[in-house]
Amino acid sequence: MAVQCLRTNEGDMAVCGGVNGIFTPESFLQHSFIGAESSGGRSRSFSVDANSYAKDDDLGLLLLKQLSDAERDGDPIEANCLDRFFNRSLDIVLCVEATHAYGGPAAVQRFASEVARVLRPNGYFLWCDLFHIDGSDTSIDYLTANGELIVEEKINITKNVLHALDIQSNTRAEFIERYVQPREQEYFRLFAGLPGTQMYNGMYEGSIQYWRAVFRKKTTTDMITI
């Protein structure tokens, strides 16, 4: 709404903000399992000292102005708001463990079309995710159905994932037993991919597979330019 206010010239500037409140420990525990929680309790984005990130209660405010006004006034400019990425503007798009939650083949194909739209010719789409082999969620075929992306490489890494889960299973199980309330332990066991859970057993038995793939955008794709 704040950006729209500026675009329609309803005002010269706008203030927008948000509050993040963390009232239970579950999210901290989840991110600890996957190594996403900084052991030092600080976020150091884009730093050589970065070691994951830190979450906390927070209030953030942004002052928004027209770019020309900000440049005229000598304001420090942190970012420029755009509706979306421009056509053929990116060299690489990275997607990790997301497409399985997009809601089925049609949604995944729309996502793939959007990836193709923003990639430059010969740009790369790097993808890694799990999917059920019954076709109920993502598959590599859905990502190439629009004919705009070519599979350069695809590798089934299910065995690698299972091996990693086996290595960490005892540590994760002990952590859950010690810190998670009994009524919530089964959920955390599933999230941690412990042996005996639906996720682990599905990969072990072959009904769930984990793949990584490299796609390249076709050079002959006729994209509509905005």
Domain of 154, CATH number, reads 3.40.50.150
Domain end among 73, 108, 132: 73
* Same domain for 96 and 67: no
Percent of the chain whose predicted confidence (pLDDT) is above 70: 92
Alpha helices in 123-184, H assignment, sequence order: 140-144, 158-179
Count of domains for the chain: 2
Rounded mean pLDDT, 59-63: 88
Q: 161 in a domain, yes or no?
A: yes
pLDDT of residue 113: 95
pLDDT of residue 162: 97
Percent of the chain whose predicted confidence (pLDDT) is above 90: 47
Residue 127 neighbours by CB under 8 Å, 6+ apart: 94, 95, 96, 99, 143, 212, 213, 214, 215
Q: 82 in a domain, yes or no?
A: no
pLDDT of residue 218: 92
pLDDT surpassing 60 at residue 137: no
Predicted confidence band of residue 45 (pLDDT cuts 50, 70, 90): confident
pLDDT of residue 226: 47
CA distance 111 to 93: 12
Residue 19 neighbours by CB under 8 Å, 6+ apart: 58, 59, 60
* Same domain for 101 and 175: yes
pLDDT of residue 221: 45
CA distance 109 to 141: 9
Phi, psi of 34 (to 5 degrees): -100, 10
* Same domain for 176 and 122: yes
Domain end among 38, 73, 108: 73
Rounded mean pLDDT, 71-94: 87
Q: 53 in a domain, yes or no?
A: yes
Q: Tell me which residue range forms the domain holding 190.
A: 87-226
Residue 68 neighbours by CB under 8 Å, 6+ apart: none
pLDDT digits (tens, 9 = 90+) for 14-38: 998 888 888 777 777 767 766 677 8
Rounded mean pLDDT, 124-134: 91
Q: 67 in a domain, yes or no?
A: yes
Q: 81 in a domain, yes or no?
A: no
Q: 79 in a domain, yes or no?
A: no
Domain end among 25, 40, 73: 73
Predicted confidence band of residue 1 (pLDDT cuts 50, 70, 90): confident
pLDDT of residue 222: 47
> What is the length of the chain?
226
Q: 193 in a domain, yes or no?
A: yes
Q: 78 in a domain, yes or no?
A: no
* Same domain for 141 and 65: no
* Same domain for 133 and 62: no
Amino acid, single-letter form, for residue 107:
A
* Same domain for 97 and 148: yes
CA distances from 146 to 92, 106, 109 (A): 19, 11, 7
pLDDT surpassing 60 at residue 166: yes
16-19 long-range CB contacts below 8 Å, 24 or more apart?
A: 16/61, 16/62, 16/64, 17/59, 17/60, 17/61, 17/62, 18/59, 18/60, 19/58, 19/59, 19/60
pLDDT surpassing 60 at residue 49: yes
* Same domain for 220 and 159: yes
According to DSSP, the residues that pair with 214 across neighbouring strands are: 126, 153
Predicted confidence band of residue 138 (pLDDT cuts 50, 70, 90): low
Full DSSP string of 106-122: HHHHHHHHHHHHHEEEE
